[in-house]
Amino acid sequence: MKKSFKSTAFALLATLSMGLSTNAFAHKVGIVDMQEIYKQIPQMAKVEQTLEAEFSERRQELEKLQGDIRFEAEKFKREATTMSDKQKEELRTKIQGMQQQLAEKGRPLEQEIKMRQNQELAKVQKLILDAIEEVAKAGKFDEVKVKETTIYVNSKTVSDLSDKVVEKVSKQ
């Protein structure tokens, strides 16, 4: 019994002494605010400009079609009381055809825009992740966490690396 007590006491003492040593479990953690990084880097404005230029003509075409549909719908409301049944039916058919044309052109354009956005964002995300890795290695961090997915951060022991990442990405 004395032997068992001694070994348990020794194990407890060893564990406590390891806990007192700050270097025994030193773990340097950094955090990044991805939303802020995306807001601040100039590459995001370039992505917006690129996509706007790439799809502006087709968007304008759809906006014109939407305007034409509104015009015809208002015309129908204004003049329905004075129109013959045949005229009403022709105008309804015309409006429905225009709406169908809008849907047929709009959906593929929307999908193409999303696909291009994802491609461009993937490039920017790669730049950000590479910058995070470089900043973490330079600062000798063991781990970097994303602020948005972290429940609690002790700002006294965890460094926010967001500004350094923005600076590094902005130079590229």
List the one residue out of 86, 66, 67, 87 whose CA is nearest residue 76.
Answer: 87
- What CATH number has the domain bearing residue 123? 3.30.910.20
Number of domains in the chain: 1
Average pLDDT over the chain reads 85
Contact in structure between 53 and 72 (CB atoms under 8 Å): no
* Residue 149, pLDDT above cutoff 70: yes
Does any domain span residue 160? yes
What is residue 156's predicted lDDT score, i.e. its pLDDT?
Answer: 83
Does any domain span residue 68? yes
Residue-wise pLDDT for 84-133, tens only, equals 999 999 999 999 999 999 999 999 999 999 999 999 999 999 999 999 99
Q: Specify the residue for token string 């014109």.
A: 64
CA atoms within 13 A on the CB side of 45: 5
Pairing state of beta strands 159-160 and 29-32? Answer: parallel
7-11, 64-68, 80-84 — which is least confidently predicted? 7-11
Contact in structure between 128 and 165 (CB atoms under 8 Å): yes
Does any domain span residue 121? yes
Cα–Cα distance between 159 and 94 in angstroms, integer?
Answer: 62
Q: Specify the residue for token string 């491609």.
A: 119
What is residue 150's predicted lDDT score, i.e. its pLDDT?
Answer: 86
Domain of residue 46 covers 27-170
List, in order, residues 6 or more apart from 128 with CB less than 8 Å away. Answer: 34, 37, 38, 41, 165, 169
